[in-house]
Chain A
Amino acid sequence: MSLARLGAAAILAAACGLPRDPEGTLDRVDHGVMRVGVVHAPPWVVDSAGEVGGVEAQLVLSLARELGARVEWVRAPEARLLESLHDRGVDLVLAGLTADTPWAKKVALTRPYYTDTAAFGAVPGAARPEPREERHVLAAPPGENAWLVRVERALHAREREVPAMLRAAAR
């Protein structure tokens, strides 16, 4: 009986288009302004001569086109940008972040749009460190789930184009 009621509630909820944003970020960005924090991190984010490019910027620009939104780039140190996500000072942060960032609990990370393996930071004289799996993500304000879902959908739709973007950037 209660299960049936629960099922009915779930179907009803599905009809309402879950999830929703507590603070209405998606509604605000839609045909509005998308404030995107960027940190120069090639090839993911390339900030040169006043132009923001790179893989993540391209992905976000195509999302902005879909939403009919104007992108406002916000340049600041990574920690400052991620911090301001908590108060919704920016709507997204692009910084070549990976899923294992220590910020994972403080912000909403998207699901990975690209995974590669890389090894960094060999100690001089020591053996090369084991290559690690790098799952690349964007950061969004925590709890703005309609917005997060919308961003993830856009990323998922363009996942296959990422390797080509990377090759183009390497050239």
Chain B
Amino acid sequence: MNAAPPALTSAVTFAPFLDANREPAITGLFTAYEQKVYAQTNRLFWWLLISQWVCALLIALVWSPRTWAGIESSIHPHLMAAAALGGMLVSLPLALMHWMPHHALTRHSVAVAQVGFSALLIHLTAGRIETHFHVFGSLAFLALYRDWRVLITATLVIVIDHLLRGLWYPESVYGVPLAAMWRTVEHAGWIIFEVAVLVWASFVSRREMWEICRRQDAHQQLLDGLEQRVSERTRALEKEVSARARMTQELTRSEDRYRTLIGNLPIGVFESTKDGRVLLANPYLLSLLGLPADQDLTKLNMADGKIIQPEERQRFWANLRAQIHVHGFETTLRTVSGDLIQVRMNARRGLNRDGTLSCEGTLEDVTARKLAERELELVHERLVTASRQAGMAEVATGVLHNVGNVLTDVNVTVQDVLDRLRTSQLSHLHSIVEAVQNERPRLASYLTEDPKGQQLPDVLIQLETLLTEENERLRIDIENLARHFESIRQIVVTQQSSARLCGLADKVAS
């Protein structure tokens, strides 16, 4: 019920130019401001109407409590009018103030009631001219609504009242029995004079209200912007704080991991200054040097020559001066028990906070590795020797095998030649030569007459054919032998070449 329709509650009659984007917000602020003004003025009139009612009752009680007829009296109609009519006047405005505080009807009812109280009080005070000032005061009070229409309503009620009274009973309002119309105009003129000023004041006031709302909106926008920026910045800071917290946790975990890693590394980790102070040494390094894990590092100094020889240390720092990183620097350290250990260091040059040179790096014990390498070299040497001998044996075996094969062929060929020589036809030539020697004196007759002599030329022709074939076979066998010997030479050359390629050449070969 309190939420009145905007068309009736809003008495916006002068809305200055508004930014279209901000118009709803500014109009909302104006409506709230307007309703605040209405509520404040309602509260004023709530007390004012009740006070006027009480005042009317008091006036009636004091001025005309009873009416008389001789010695008989009764309640004066003015007292009844003050009670009843006054109550009637305040009833609706007070009810509307309660149920519809922002409704225009409430304000108009207040205007009617206020003007009605003017009439009632004028009646109750015997038409005193001073009481007529109540009308002007009432209009001024009604102007507090800053709603010109309320003033118009009050003015209309007053003017209509004067018109009707002026027409029907002018004495009651003008004090004369015959009142010309100009008296009504005159009275109305004074009212309109005041109302005109009050209406103008209402317009000015409403314009100022718009201005205030526009400024309030601008301030609110600024405030909202600031709040938004603060909110965004707060969120960003929260994110940053959260990120930093996560980073801190990560750093803590990383540091823990680093410490655990450094503590459990199977190599030594160190940080040292050029003057020999030890800033960091992990447990492995300490144990490597034969020191306890809780060794006070401030009592260690690498420059005293107990752990590392001064010349070795100078060589190490010379390398670091030459290059920032040193890799694979090998040296010998002396443990607390006096044992010598071979170490290999990787280090990086750095600067201390005080500007002095420092280095940090890792160190690994390579003593066992060095021993192993030495043993490996010995084994390698033995292996090379054995390999060489095995190679030589293998070469000899190959040569002998191949030469053997060729010699077998040679032997076969030689046996074949020997067989040919044993079965040669050359013996038949000796028989013919012997027969010729025997028949030399009669050689002619023998060749012509003797049957054997007559066969001798044929025998010689056959023998010559056989010997020629035999000679050809022998030539072939000799060529085979020559080829076999060439093969043997090739085998030897080939083996010598192979031995040279494999590094197995031996002076023996030469």
Q: Is the pairing of A and B real?
A: no
